[in-house]
Every structure is written in structure tokens, then in C-alpha cells.
Amino acid sequence: MANNSSAVPTKTVGQAGLAALVLAAALAVAPAAAEPAAALIESLTSNFQRVELMDYAHAGQVIRLSPGQTMVLSYGASCVRETITGGTVTIGTEQSEVRSGEVRRTLAQCGKAERRSEALAIAGRTYRGGVR
């Protein structure tokens, strides 16, 4: 009988090679999705184009809205909040570029805590023992 032990390593190398090819293909696609998040989608009139409520939008992403569709975006870097109705929206780093639509921008306080000199009064009650 012939010993076919050399066939097993060849098969394993083939599977490892295939796994390496799949990994390389996944890494080639990853940089496109690795853009840092520029804005948070706070509100939508309806889900569309793989964009959902509380998704992050990335710089350069293009979103097309129908004339009746409205979307609210919040930009973390600039503290700009946009309400966009209709048109083609190109996500920027600090605000969107909107063509053929309507945009209303406001400046939000954006996570900057204000310090107050006065103390805050906090009320509460502590219960000890069993339930009556």
C-alpha cells in the first residue's frame, strides 16, 4: 500500500490559500467603509437607500431624497444640526452640500458641558427594610 500522507498537507495548504485570498479581498473593501463618521442621522421620514435612523453618515456619502422626504443630521465636529427636505445630499466633514433640496441649519451646544457655580438641589427618599 502506498502512503498518501503527502496529500493531506497539500489540501490544507489549498484551504489556507483560499482563506488568505478571502481575507485579502475583505481588506481591499474595508478602506472604503473605514471613513470616520461625520454625522449622525437623527430623524427620517422613511427608511431609504440603506440609510436608517441613528446610522452614521460618512464624508463623501451621497444620499438622494425624494421631494417629500426629510432627514435630520447632526455633525459632531462643527455642532451643526441640519434638517434637509428633498434633493441630493453629499455628506461633508462639518456640514452637507445639498442640491435641488431645502436645508435649514442650526448651531447646537454639542456635548460641551456648562459649569454652574450654584449647587443643584437633588431630592430623594431612602427606603430601608421590607416592603409594607
* Residues 43-86: tens digit of each pLDDT: 998 766 678 888 999 999 999 999 989 999 999 899 999 999 99
The H-or-E segment that residue 26 falls in is helix 7-33
Task: Report pLDDT for 81.
Answer: 95
- Is the separation of the CB atoms in 100 and 86 below 8 Å? yes
Tell me the percentage of the chain whose pLDDT exceeds 90.
Answer: 41
Instruction: State the pLDDT confidence band at 96, using cuts at 50, 70 and 90.
Output: very high
Q: How many CB atoms lie within 10 A of CB 21?
A: 10
Best CA proximity match to 73, nearest among 87, 49, 92: 92
- Name the pTM for this structure: 0.58
Task: Report pLDDT for 30.
Answer: 43
Q: How far apart are CA 61 and CA 80, in angstroms?
A: 17
Best CA proximity match to 80, nearest among 62, 44, 105, 117: 105
Task: Report pLDDT for 105.
Answer: 96
Name which residue leads in pLDDT, 74 or 29: 74
Q: How far apart are CA 40 and CA 71, in angstroms?
A: 10
